[in-house]
Amino acid sequence: MPNLVDLADLPPIRLFDGVVARRVEGERVTLAIVELEPNGVVPPHQHRYEQNGMVIQGQMRFTVDGEERTLGPGGTWRILADVPHAAVAGPEGAVVIDVCSPIRDDWNDLPVIERLPYWPRS
């Protein structure tokens, strides 16, 4: 991956139905812009990756290790490795930033999709 890339040039991958990500990877960290359709669902799961993030548009209802909260723009989360978590986008959908360490190598085999991401709008 080149060092300088426009987000629009990164291929979108489908994480879940209605949940698409574009990612920038370093040697030890993944930064992803994740777009969720209205009421898009990230089902309960856990993984070996530490994950921090922030809502940049819309709303998200997060559950992290039993703690639940609705977050809007500027709302942040911290998910330690192997901690169960889930999320649901609000009725307008959402755009979030996720930062994971180590890199999300489990995303390598996910399908690249044709749908053009909508954020940021020109």
pLDDT of 122 reads: 60
What is the domain-level CATH number for residue 31?
Answer: 2.60.120.10
pLDDT value of position 66? 94
121 is a domain residue? no
Give how many domains the chain has, as a whole number. 1
Residue 118 counted as domain residue: no
Among 98, 95, 92, smallest CA distance to 121 is for 95
Residue 13 included in any domain: no
Range of the domain at 28: 18-105
Full pLDDT tens readout for the chain, 122 residues? 889 999 989 999 999 999 999 999 999 999 999 999 999 999 999 999 999 999 999 999 999 999 999 999 999 999 999 999 999 999 999 999 999 999 999 999 999 998 767 788 76
- Give me the pLDDT at residue 12, please: 95
Quick one: how far is CA 118 from the chain centroid? 14
Give the model's pLDDT for residue 92: 96
Query: How does strand 13-16 pair with strand 19-25?
Result: antiparallel
What is the structure's pLDDT at 114? 84
pTM of the predicted model over 0.85:
yes
